[in-house]
Chain A
Amino acid sequence: MISSLPRETIISIVLFAAVWQVMSYLAPSLGIPAFAIPGLGRIAESLTKITLLDVAVTLGRVLLSLVVSFVIGLLVAVLMYLSESVEKYLRPMVRILMAVPVVSWILFAVLWFKGVEFRIVFVLVVVCAPVFTVDALDNMREVSRDLKQMIRSFRPTPFQFFHKLMLPAITPGIITSWKITLSLAIRVVTIAELVGAVTGIGHQLSVAQELFSVADVFAWTLVLVVLLFFLEALLVRLETHVLRWRA
């Protein structure tokens, strides 16, 4: 995987690591506490203590929430596409949902719900589903009028119309939506897990913060970033396969 990275990327990562290491040496002499900028060795040590269960739990929460968000988002988009009046009522709601800050959703979730897992999934869904709705609706609107006229001339059922034309036509847009929401969900889940969760990367970050362990915070953050890159790479692979007709 590393060999497939561009040379410039590798150089910039190595440079960053070198600057970090130098900073960790110089920190005490600059009046910065030593624990604030731990050396690479200390970070590596923290990385060895990463518990895979927490990674798996966070990954599970993200994927489950994204699937639920996608299903809800797509269904709402289809309803809005089919009925102008439904769209007129729902569009302001969707816009309001998108405008509410993530922190507010977390506070609402804490105040409204008891179950920690439900709180986390709720926050992720309420943040990600509107993104899927807006993207899917825009993509459905952009499906060629000519293709719609062509398939309608063969008299499909409404299900066939969506299954044979709309879904394949909006697939490129849906994959782009997944890329956006994946990155959004990874960031949001961490914040959501900070509140009340006893597992997951967010919880571990919270523990590291309580222990003033910057090395652990760095290590867990690194895991999150790598996890995001890994999932994005999987999506790109899927995209290459599904959209091979565009090559």
Chain B
Amino acid sequence: MTGASAPIEIAQLRKVFRQTTSGQSITAIDQLSLRIEPGELIAIVGKTGCGKSTLFDLLIGLEHPTAGSITIGGKTPYDDFNAFRGKIATIFQQDRLFPWRSALDNVKLPLELIGIAEDVQQERALTWLKRLGLEKFANAYPRELSGGMRQRVAIARAFAVQPEILLADESFSALDEVTANELRKTFVELAREFKSTAILITHQLEEAMAVGDRIVVFGKSAALLADVRTSDWDRADYPLLREAIQNTLQANAPDARLKR
């Protein structure tokens, strides 16, 4: 596993949706520019409706921007859709497991899609389930697993393809606090171990601070309110950082105290 090799470059990104009923336009993302380095662990935080999930869909390649671009190694995830097969993996808020597949078969799914040999699929899926403490539940169907276990399977499914880019959209916010903390820790450990570029989208500041090497704060239409490297801050200063970001989110305007 070599990890991510190319940065994600977001340039002057704009996404406008037209409502089918009223015909009105909604600008979900307006002129966003951001560069994410390979192997970086970045948390994007913002209020509901600020354009975080639209950015997520654009990064996956399921939406096309209205203007601007996202390029990864000279290619765009939406125009060069198939070039990113096996390179981008996702973890969603809900586990999104196939109910008709066992835990093992759910982890195997992305491996089947990229055409890995059957015996390698089996071995790799089992290894990942073991890694996430679910080896005894390999043959269990999702309905037989708890919410936390299902999300573990979803994490195993994402890491099984050894992605260069890992996208997580509110992936831990539907879980109880203890499970969420545990899975956040696992997520960070695995992302670092495999040197994946990991982007966690969240509305919870605590979660962003627990996960990100870098915290990006979005205002309305993904306006970049703050871009902070947590390594620039001492642990002892975290309450100050938290307060500053909180103020920024509440005021919805850039905060001078965030600049170091």
How many chain B residues sit at the interface, stated as a range, is: 20 to 34
The minimal Cβ–Cβ distance linking A209 to chain B, given in whole angstroms, is 48
Contact between chains at B109 and A147 (CB < 8 Å): no
A155, B113: Cβ atoms closer than 8 Å: yes
A142 within 8 A of B: no
Out of A152, A156, A165, A171, which one reaches B62, CB within 8 Å? A152
0/1 per residue, B73-100, Cβ < 8 Å to A? 0000000011011101110101010111
Tell me whether B43 is interfacial, beta carbon within 8 Å.
no
Check A168/B98 contact, CB under 8 A, given A153-B62, A154-B161, A155-B113: yes
Q: Do A154 and B62 contact each other (CB < 8 Å), given the known contacts A164-B112, A168-B98?
A: no
- Are A154 and B113 interface neighbours, CB within 8 A? yes
Q: Are A147 and B96 in contact (CB under 8 A)?
A: yes
Q: Is the CB of B90 within 8 A of A147?
A: no
Count, A-B residue pairs, CB within 8 A: 62
Complex Cα gap A222–B158 (Å): 56
Given A152-B62, A154-B161, check contact A147 B98 (CB 8 Å). Answer: yes
Which of A149, A153, A160, A165 sits near B98, CB closer than 8 Å?
A165
Closest to B161 in A: A154
Tell me the B49-75 residues at the A interface (CB within 8 Å): 57, 60-62
Instruction: Indicate if the CB atoms of A155 and B82 lie closer than 8 Å.
Output: yes
Instruction: Let me know if A112 is at the binding interface, CB within 8 A.
Output: no
CA of A160 to CA of B82, assembled, Å? 13
B157-192, CB < 8 A from A: 161, 167
- Tell me the nearest residue of chain B to A150, going by C-beta: B96
What are 28 A-B pairs with beta-carbon distances under 8 A? A146-B96, A147-B98, A149-B62, A149-B96, A150-B92, A151-B109, A152-B60, A153-B61, A153-B62, A153-B90, A153-B167, A154-B85, A154-B89, A154-B90, A154-B113, A155-B82, A155-B86, A155-B88, A160-B113, A164-B98, A164-B109, A164-B112, A164-B113, A165-B98, A168-B98, A245-B100, A245-B143, A246-B143
Query: Using a CB–CB distance below 8 Å, which chain A residues touch chain B?
Result: 146-147, 149-156, 160, 164-165, 168-169, 171, 243, 245-246
Residues of B within 8 A of A (CB): 57, 60-62, 81-82, 84-86, 88-90, 92, 94, 96, 98-101, 109-110, 112-114, 141, 143, 161, 167
